Amino acid sequence: MATTSSAAPTTPTTSTASIVQVDALTKRYGSSRGIDDVTFAIRDGEVFGFLGPNGAGKTTTIRTLMGLLRPTSGRATIGGLDCWGQATEVKRLVGYLPGEFSFDPGLTGAQILNYLANLRGDVDHAYMTSLVERLELDPTKKFREYSRGNKQKVGLAQAFMGKPRLLILDEPTSGLDPLNQQEFYKLVAETRADGRSVFLSSHILPEVEHTCDRVGIIREGRLVKVGGVGELKDLRQRVLEAQFGGPAEAAWFSGLPGVLSVTTDEPNTARVTLTGDMADALRVAVEHGALNVATHEPSLEDIFLRFYEPVSEPVA
Amino acid sequence: MATIAARPLVAPAGWTFRAVWSKSLRGYRVAILAWGIGLGLLLMATAAASSSVSGAAGALSQTNIVQSFAFFGDPVALGTPQGYTTFKFLGLVPLFLGIWMVIAGAHLTRGDEERGALDLVLGTPISRARYMSEKIIAFAIGTILVGAFMTIGLILGLAAAKVQVDIGAAVMAGVDIVLTSFVYGALAIFFSQFTRTAGAAAGIAGAYMAVDFVVAGAMRVSKGPEFISGLTINFYSELSKPIIPTYGTNPGALLVLLVMSLVLVAASIWLFVRRDAGDVAKLWTRSVALRPRVAPATAMARAEGDISLRGVFARSLADRWLSIFWWMVGIGVFGVYAVFIAKSAEDVIAQAFKNSAVLQALFGGSNMATNNGFIQGIEFSFVPFVTVLAAMFFAINWPTDLDRARLETMLSEPLARWRVPLERFAVVVVGVVALGVVAWLAPLLGGAMANFTLDSGKMAAAGLGLIPLGLVTGALVYALAGKIPSGAILGVVGGLASLSFLMELLNDLLKLPTWVLNLSIFHVYGQPISQGINWTGTIVMLVVAAALLAISVIRFTREDVRN
């Protein structure tokens, strides 16, 4: 698991203006689902995390925003420009890292970056070179000679080099070692401090927790939750584990508000899973002579997994 | 308590997915059918029609004139349907089938490596030697099946010509074709161990095949030293003429072809099991000092000044210029060489052609009684086909890049989508125009060197008339891009080009309806030297090229980009 970043956001400085606006966006691949009725917005200066398991629709959403996929219905705009109809203008505002960064294998890192800089125009070459140095990329090697992590560094450098208003990054730390992950977090923090926005997809929850202002969770093509990282934590379940001098009974806790489940599988121990205030549960535990009480703080990962529990269908 | 609904199980795969060889053979199935049936039908038609002209051709064979045409194959027993069919078609078939063999051979392992599939397959408990051996077995089975189709076509054609058919001889003719073309394919497999891309290996093997054919032909005409002939593959192919009863099969020659194949295959396997996956084979390891590290800032500054990185066109031209250059050299050298062949046989051929419709039929209708006509018959019978193949290779990196999702990052730059295919196609235009100009000027240069008078205007018509052919071919590749894989595009376009060329070459025999002939771009190209440029056809080809390119561009701007 990735280490936490020192570049974690402090007080958000985002404005209320939206750089990205997605309204009822749907993309289907023939009869297959891509994304369905996705709506969200990203504010100027905001770092927005996009979470979801494989095949949930993260990359489809990102590629639709980049004008690489044509929406089946709905609309996405960046900077007020339509992502499909005004794709060229949109891309002047955006730096993009695809999920699988692939390029002409015979070109060196330096050639790739300069080629893309020429296509983009208005790239500060000194800044581009500084990115290469910060990411410790050897630009003299050919693309085919790079490891996966080094290919990712080329991809990150080309995404950041134009100092775009919005960075769209699909799994940006994939393949990076921890040191370079830290450098990436710093780049994100600098971008945010500049008042520019970042839209990143990730599987690494601590990374999202420590770098993003808000998070969207996508599941089976539908956005199931959008909120601040703090809001998501409010939804968390907590576990209270109480040890007693004798056998514990589930009935002591099962009627309390917010209690989801009680197990007494271990001898003299009750394990209570609950949401919201745990004062009542603590009181009951003390009343029954609890010798030891411990609470577990579920990570964002636990919350995340709640959203991804498989859809249950009734038995026919 | 609700339960999770059971997910459907993955459908069991068919037998073709049970082994490397069967999976590979499955990949060849379309090509086997297309090339096998296509060449089989043409062979059947040629053999069936051969009795109508073989008698007249036989009269010519009594003279020493025919030896002048040995460039195209040994003229033996031209007076018989079997001899005529052998001279007119069987000698050339390995060359055409070789196109597919070279493309498929180059992709045999390198294609998997380029797609990144090799690591995955080698991650299973299968040895490298077994992996490659099974791939080669599939390749060999595919070749044999194509050969079987052709053998059946030959037998049916000769039967239709009311010739007593020796089934064994027909089978040996098929064996000769299969072995010869397999050597070309094995060469491509071998070269692909030393190249980073399958395209490069196919280009080198294709060029080797063309040079091999030209050298063998030149040695037959000039009766050059046998040790030089013996270095060519085509020489051993020509030693067997199984369906000609008085000539027969040369088991030694077939054995040489078989040994060549086995040696190349064994060497390729030996190299493959020893080299790094994804890398090229290194025959010796040099103890070199580590490359001195160039400062990142220096490397970045150098790249900043590189004009080939200024835009899509510049980058694409830089990527293709070497390929364009070598095709230009090849066509240029052949153009000059054709003049020297013409010069050496000038008098005897001019005399022979004066009143011989049969000879004209032998060379696709060209009247070689004049200098210009001779160049038409030798150079501009084959260069259009070469130009079409070149255009196909100039254009193929577009569908390849689409297949490999290499455009995603470029398309994230503020660049109108329509500009990308158009700027890339501009390089195809540059390459095709360059070939047209070389095809025009090379015979004039040869004429100046050999004191052989040629009409500059007619050479210009023949050379520049090639440009629409190349543009149609390149535009067809672009139109198919994204719809079918790039490897299949090579097979389809290469197959269509071969079929069109053979239809035109065999026109006098097959007597195809005009509307069918007009589908052949080579028929539309016609004979600019003797009949002038076919302006209507040229305009139609340019319009078709523009339409195909427009389809490609419009589709590219409107459709999803695959990742």
pLDDT in tens, A81-94: 999 999 999 999 99
Task: Please enumerate in sequence order all residues whose Cβ is within 8 A of that of A143, keeping only pairs 6 or more positions apart, or say none.
Answer: A103, A104, A105, A106, A107, A108, A109, A112, A151, A154
Q: What DSSP letter does each residue of B377-442 carry, written as one string?
A: HHHHHHHHHHHHHHHHHHHTHHHHHHHTT-STTGGGSS--TTHHHHHHHHHHHHHHHHHHHHHHHH
Distances (CA, A) of B38 to A86, A254, B93, B280: 47, 78, 11, 36
| Residue A157 touches partner B, C-beta closer than 8 Å | no
Query: For the segment A11-60, what is each residue's pLDDT rounded down to a tens digit?
Result: 444 556 899 999 999 999 887 889 999 999 999 999 999 988 888 899 99
Q: Which residues of B touch A (CB under 8 A)?
A: 2-5, 196, 278, 293-294, 296-297, 299-300, 302-304, 306, 309-312, 315, 319, 404-406, 408-417, 558-561, 563
Please give the structure tokens belonging to residue B474.
């390149």
Higher pLDDT, A231 or A133: A133
Phi, psi of B405 (to 5 degrees): 55, 40
User: Cβ separation of B300 and A314 shorter than 8 Å?
Assistant: no
Higher pLDDT, A221 or B498: A221
- A241 pLDDT more than 70: yes
* Interface test mutation site (partner B, options A119, A137, A161, A311, max chain B beta carbons within 10 A): A119
* Nearest-CB residue to B415 (from A100, A119, A312): A119
| H helix runs in B5-127, sequence order | 20-27, 29-49, 51-61, 81-85, 93-107, 110-115, 117-122
CA distance A237 to chain B (A): 21
Q: So what's the pLDDT on residue B5?
A: 46
CA distance A220 to chain B (A): 15
- Residues of B in Cβ contact (< 8 Å) with A119: 311-312, 410, 413-415
Reduced to 3 states (helix: H, G, I; strand: E, B; else coil), residue B504 is helix
Task: Please enumerate in sequence order all residues whose Cβ is within 8 A of that of B176, keeping only pairs 6 or more positions apart, or say none.
Answer: B90, B237, B240, B242, B249, B254, B257
Question: Sheet holding A292-296: strands in order across?
Answer: A259-263, A269-275, A237-243, A292-296
| Residue A30 touches partner B, C-beta closer than 8 Å | no
Q: So what's the pLDDT on residue B285?
A: 64
User: Cβ separation of A137 and B413 shorter than 8 Å?
Assistant: no
Q: So what's the pLDDT on residue A134?
A: 93
Q: CA angle, corner B522, sides to B546 and B345, nearest 5?
A: 140
Query: pTM for the full model?
Result: 0.77
Q: So what's the pLDDT on residue B452?
A: 85
Q: What is the mean pLDDT of the segment spanning A111-139?
A: 92
CB B480 within 8 A of CB B490: no
Mean of pLDDT over chain A: 85
Q: CA nearest B61: which of B44, B43, B74?
A: B74
Selected residues 48-87 of chain A with any CB under 8 Å from a CB in chain B:
59, 63, 66-70, 87
Residue A267 pLDDT grade (very low, low, confident, very high; cuts 50, 70, 90): confident
| Residue A128 touches partner B, C-beta closer than 8 Å | yes
Q: CA nearest A176: which of A209, A212, A202, A197?
A: A202
Q: So what's the pLDDT on residue A52?
A: 84
Q: What DSSP letter does each residue of A183-202 carry, written as one string?
A: HHHHHHHHHHHTT-EEEEEE
ipTM of the shown complex: 0.73
User: Cβ separation of A315 and B2 shorter than 8 Å?
Assistant: yes
Residue A112 pLDDT grade (very low, low, confident, very high; cuts 50, 70, 90): very high
Q: So what's the pLDDT on residue B4?
A: 43
Compute and round to an integer the Cα radius of gyration of chain B: 25
The whole-angstrom separation of Cα B22 and Cα B134 is 8
Query: For the segment B303-321, what is each residue's pLDDT rounded down to a tens digit?
Result: 999 999 999 999 999 988 9
- A2 pLDDT more than 60: no
Residue A104 pLDDT grade (very low, low, confident, very high; cuts 50, 70, 90): confident
Q: So what's the pLDDT on residue B360?
A: 58
CB A224 within 8 A of CB A217: yes
User: Cβ separation of B560 and A69 shorter than 8 Å?
Assistant: yes
Query: For the segment A171-217, what is each residue's pLDDT rounded down to a tens digit?
Result: 999 899 989 999 999 999 999 999 999 999 987 777 788 889 999 98
- A4 pLDDT more than 70: no
Q: So what's the pLDDT on residue A11?
A: 42
Task: Please enumerate in sequence order all residues whose Cβ is within 8 A of that of A293, keeping only pairs 6 or more positions apart, or say none.
Answer: A240, A241, A242, A243, A282, A285, A286
User: Cβ separation of A144 and B5 shorter than 8 Å?
Assistant: no
| Residue A169 touches partner B, C-beta closer than 8 Å | no
pLDDT along chain B (563 residues), means of 10: 45 70 88 88 83 62 56 77 83 86 93 82 86 96 96 91 87 95 96 90 88 81 76 92 91 96 97 89 69 79 91 93 89 84 65 57 57 74 88 92 87 92 97 96 90 88 94 96 85 85 76 83 87 90 96 92 77
- A130 pLDDT more than 50: yes
- Residues of A in Cβ contact (< 8 Å) with B297: 129, 133
- A167 pLDDT more than 90: yes
The whole-angstrom separation of Cα B474 and Cα B479 is 9
- A287 pLDDT more than 80: yes
